[in-house]
Amino acid sequence: MLDELTRLTAHGMARALRVGDVSARDLAIAHLDVAERQNHALNAWLTIDRDAALAQAEAADATLARRRAEGGEALADLHPLHGIPIALKDLISVEGGQCTAGSRILEGYRAPYDAHITERLRAAGAVFLGKTNMDEFAMGSSNEYSAYGPVSNPWDLDTVPGGSSGGSAAAVAAHHAPVSLGTDTGGSIRQPAALCGIVGMKPTYGRVSRYGIVAFASSLDQLGPFARDSRDAAALLHAIAGRDERDSTSAPVPVPDDLIRLAESDDEAAGWLRGKRFGLPREYFVAGMDPDVERRIRESVGFLEDAGASVEPVSLPHTDYGLAAYYIVAPAEASANLARYDGVRYGQSRRLPGADFIADYLATRGEGFGAEVKRRIMLGTYALSAGYYDAFYVKAQKVRTLIKRDFDEVFATGIDALVAPTSPSVAFRFGARTSDPVSMYLSDACTLPVNMAGLPGVSIPCGLSEGLPVGLQLIGPAWSEVMLFRAARAFEGLTAAATWRNQAPRDLALADDRSGPTPTERAAALTVA
């Protein structure tokens, strides 16, 4: 019966908590049990903190009991996430807890304070189950670049969950938590959401404070929610969004309460589509796209049209330059951000004493960073070096402006949102792209232009290809998260009766086998094969 609790949505859990049908402690135990049982097979979690989670759950239950005694209005004032279990990507600071960012160089580091979003979630009464696995310093598209081993996709344990937030996505898809948090620098929420068959949103840049988050590329990083449906994802965004004086890039834009008021009825939700205009950018159907993925996307476009929306072809001509520009801007910012991991300020646990400071510094970073992080530091340092700054970095920033202008011009015509693929393929097997970095980078070709423009985007499940999930991406103008979630909720209403909607990840039963291979062992076997 405890496992059945993990199948509820977060809003279903919230209803049960308020009427007293279930306790926050029950919910925490149910999710902790399945996470601990299946982590051998999935490696989605870097740490699971049962004691802290149960203490938070008991505090949530005490508040619920007090509010019930005070009456209905007191209960209604509680945030929808009160008492709800949540998973946090391991680059989010939780006071006293580990924060490795998936890297050996931060092994043993304990955060001395809470991130802004951690404070917001504590205030909402959420229950932190632990920290999830990720590509090192959020650099990756497959979660194969974690220093603590890869993560398996619960749909097929031999495939990747996407990255860099693969642990957070896999944890939600496997019912270890109803909601989780990730970060998105070039697609690292939306792409794993697509590959794991869940909802994932990258909000407008500045919607969520980055205070207390380990930085990758500061002008691109943004925190966002994962969930199994749009209502839960919207509620999580509502909890973490808002201005924070400690983050100068955090925007003083009100957080709309409509995020926690999405339509409950499928028919009401689908009715919102009538008269809406969507744009279908031709550049997002990239060369090499899986034909079956393209079919699922075009079928989804047909559903929108059948519901009364219009879908028009549009062009974003500078999209083709987005990948090249991104892989100059992001590594350049990473090179600057990761300079602090020198064994003195950060990385003391990996410090290798040498004959002098420079030798010590080089040895510490050489041993503490993985190959992908070193590759991006070198790319970024080269792009920022004398003689190349104007030729590469400045030019990439100019291209970034052109990419943003493309989006602005399309939305200026009255288009409400763009509809596009999230990923050009479904989940791929371990090792399929690690030997070819450019092939791996192309995994984000459909998502990274949104980061370059600072816009919001959401990925929602839209069917299966060869038994694996396909993601549909919706992109809107700045601060249009409510509209995007309404569109996502409408699509859920349209497809509520689809058979794929009720399919659980097909390899979850295998994940219960603690004697089976770990993701690291699976990846090694596939590489040998």
Known catalytic residues? 89, 164, 188
What is the C-alpha to C-alpha distance for residues 72 and 84, in angstroms, rounded to an integer? Answer: 19
What is the C-alpha to C-alpha distance for residues 22 and 381, in angstroms, rounded to an integer? Answer: 54
What is the C-alpha to C-alpha distance for residues 58 and 343, in angstroms, rounded to an integer? Answer: 39
Cα 422 to Cα 165, 280, 419, 445: the distances in Å are 15, 13, 9, 9
Helix (H, G, I), strand (E, B) or coil at 387: coil
Q: Does residue 301 contact residue 487 with C-beta atoms inside 8 Å?
A: no
Q: Which residues pair with 311 in a beta bridge?
A: 278
Report the b/e string of 251-283 with b at 16+ CB within 10 A. Answer: beeebbeebbebbeebeebbebbeebebbbbeb
Sequential DSSP letters for 425-487 = SS--BTTTTTT-HHHHHGGGTTTHHHHHHT--EEEEEEEEETTEEEEEEEE-STT-HHHHHHH
Structure tokens at 217: 């590329």
Give the residue from 215, 220, 200 showing the smallest Cα distance to 103.
215
Whether the bond into 164 is cis, omega within 30 of 0? yes
Dihedral (CA of 238, 239, 243, 248) sign: negative
Residues 6+ positions from 173 with CB-CB distance below 8 Å = 153, 154, 155, 161, 196, 197, 198, 228, 505
For tokens 């909000």, what's the residue?
Answer: 203
What is the C-alpha to C-alpha distance for residues 41 and 70, in angstroms, rounded to an integer? Answer: 45
For tokens 């039963």, what's the residue?
Answer: 509
Cα 506 to Cα 1, 11, 16, 325: the distances in Å are 21, 25, 28, 38
What is the C-alpha to C-alpha distance for residues 375 and 373, in angstroms, rounded to an integer? Answer: 5
Structure tokens at 432: 């399929």
Report the b/e string of 37-60 with b at 16+ CB within 10 A. Answer: ebbbbbbbbbebbeebbbebbeeb
The single-letter DSSP state of residue 92 is B
Q: Does residue 337 contact residue 216 with C-beta atoms inside 8 Å?
A: yes
How far from chain centre, in Å, is Cα 500? 22
**What phi and psi, each to the nearest 5 degrees, are found at residue 38?**
-100, -5
